[in-house]
């Protein structure tokens, strides 16, 4: 993928002393500053990020069966990329499918993200039917679809809103379709959780983050990124109607679950 304006910036967002977590301005947000270094940040901060992305087209090949129709009446597979950020998941899918086979709808609440995602996707895949939409995924009316990707997005919604978003997804997925839900989690057992969190910080250290950057980001994410346990995710998927869902990927405290309609 080529970056539109400049080379990807190195993430140095938290390399200065941080303010208190009560300072609203210090809260993590997906603004222009984050957009500028996002590919570097997510690659160095999320264990297995590239591996999860690489599996999405492989899952799509098995589960997307041209069940939908585009505006010209052509049979297509419709995929939602919810909380798309710069469109990395959409980009990976477009790279593995012919333009006429897919209709991708990539949605994000951050205009800074969607502006850059639109540029990147249209520059790299001008022939593909990819719509980038700036919206809150709690408000959008989804259309019938074959696959939904929630890659590190649900964790940023207030806990009380998560069921409704998953219910909407369940209702619009076609029979045979899938939801791929990737999340940062915490372990119920405090000792296991402490071990996982410490090894996660080791992972960040190994990727070049300093102690100040690690603690600054932790403060900024407090009450912004709210994790559930893996059991809570599975229970919620059952509650909204998914009868079958399994954890297909886990790397430290990051997991990915596939739910089958």
Ligand X SMILES: O=C(O)C(=O)C[C@]1(C(=O)O)C=C[C@@H](O)C=C1
Ligand Y SMILES: C[S@@+](CC[C@H](N)C(=O)[O-])C[C@H]1O[C@@H](n2cnc3c(N)ncnc32)[C@H](O)[C@@H]1O
**What residues are designated binding site for S-adenosyl-L-methionine?**
49, 83-85, 136-137, 151, 218
Q: How far is it, in rounded angstroms, from Cα 248 to Cα 256?
A: 6
Q: What minimum distance in Å lies between the beta carbon of 71 and ligand X?
A: 33
Interface pick for ligand X out of 124, 225, 226, 232 (rule CB under 6 A): 225
Q: How far is it, in rounded angstroms, from Cα 52 to Cα 152?
A: 11
**Residue 221 interacts with which of ligand Y, ligand X, none, CB < 5 to 8 Å by class:** ligand X
Decide if residue 109 touches ligand X (CB under 6 A).
no
CB-based closest residue to ligand X: 45
Q: Which is nearer to ligand X, 88 or 178 (CB)?
A: 88
Q: Which is nearer to ligand Y, 62 or 138 (CB)?
A: 138
Chain-centre distance for alpha carbon 76: 23
Q: Which residues have a Cβ under 8 Å from the Cβ of 115 and sit 6 or more positions away?
A: none
Q: Which residues, numbered 97-136, are part of the site for ligand Y (CB under 6 A)?
A: 107-110, 113, 136
Number of residues written out for the chain: 261
Q: Which is nearer to ligand Y, 4 or 195 (CB)?
A: 4
Q: What minimum distance in Å lies between the beta carbon of 254 and ligand Y?
A: 11
Interface pick for ligand Y out of 91, 130, 147, 152 (rule CB under 6 A): 152
Long-range residue pairs from 24-32, CB within 8 A, at least 24 positions apart, any chain: 26/219, 26/220, 27/220, 27/223, 27/224, 28/217, 28/220, 28/221, 28/224, 28/225, 29/110, 29/224, 30/85, 30/108, 30/109, 30/110, 30/112, 30/113, 31/110, 31/112, 32/112
Decide if residue 84 touches ligand X (CB under 6 A).
no
Size of interface with ligand X, in residues (CB under 6 A): 9
State the binding string over 7-46 for ligand Y (x if CB under 6 A, else -).
-----------------------x-----------x----
CB 165 within 8 A of CB 154: yes
Q: What minimum distance in Å lies between the beta carbon of 41 and ligand X?
A: 5
Decide if residue 168 touches ligand Y (CB under 6 A).
no
Decide if residue 157 touches ligand X (CB under 6 A).
no
Interface pick for ligand X out of 45, 68, 151, 185 (rule CB under 6 A): 45
Handedness of CA 128, 134, 136, 142 (dihedral sign): negative
Categorise residue 87: left if φ over 0, alpha if ψ from -120 to 50, beta otherwise: left
Decide if residue 68 touches ligand Y (CB under 6 A).
no
Nearest by Cα to 41 from 134, 125, 136, 113: 113
Nearest by Cα to 28 from 184, 195, 208: 184
**Half-sphere exposure (CA, 13 Å, Cβ side) for 173?**
23
- List helix spans (H) across 138-185: 162-172
Decide if residue 85 touches ligand Y (CB under 6 A).
yes
Binding residues for ligand X (CB under 6 A): 41-42, 45-46, 152, 184, 217, 221, 225
- Would you tell me which residues interact with ligand Y (CB under 6 A)? 30, 42, 83-85, 88-89, 107-110, 113, 136-138, 151-153, 156-157
């Amino acid at each position: 993928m080529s970056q539109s304006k400049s080379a990807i910036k190195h993430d140095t967002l938290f390399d200065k002393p941080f303010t208190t977590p009560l300072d609203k301005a210090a809260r993590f947000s997906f603004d222009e500053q984050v957009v500028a270094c996002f590919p570097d940040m997510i690659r160095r901060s999320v264990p297995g990020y590239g591996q999860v992305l690489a599996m999405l087209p492989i899952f799509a090949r098995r589960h997307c069966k041209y069940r939908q129709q585009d505006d010209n009446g052509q049979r297509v597979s419709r995929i939602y990329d919810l909380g798309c950020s710069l469109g990395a998941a959409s980009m990976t899918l477009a790279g593995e499918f012919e333009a006429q086979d897919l209709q991708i709808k990539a949605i994000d609440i951050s205009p800074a993200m969607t502006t850059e995602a639109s540029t990147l996707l249209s520059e790299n895949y001008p022939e593909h039917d990819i719509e980038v939409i700036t919206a809150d995924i709690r408000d959008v009316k989804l259309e019938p679809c074959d696959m939904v990707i929630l890659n590190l997005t649900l964790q940023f919604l207030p806990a009380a809103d998560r069921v409704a978003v998953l219910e909407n997804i369940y209702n619009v997925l076609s029979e045979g379709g899938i939801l791929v839900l990737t999340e940062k989690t915490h372990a119920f057992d405090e000792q296991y959780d402490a071990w996982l969190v410490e090894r996660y910080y080791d992972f960040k250290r190994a990727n070049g983050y300093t102690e100040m950057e690690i603690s600054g980001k932790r403060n900024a994410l407090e009450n912004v990124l709210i994790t559930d346990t893996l059991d809570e995710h599975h229970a919620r998927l059952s509650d909204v109607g998914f009868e079958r869902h399994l954890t297909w990927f886990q790397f430290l405290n990051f997991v990915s679950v596939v739910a089958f309609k």
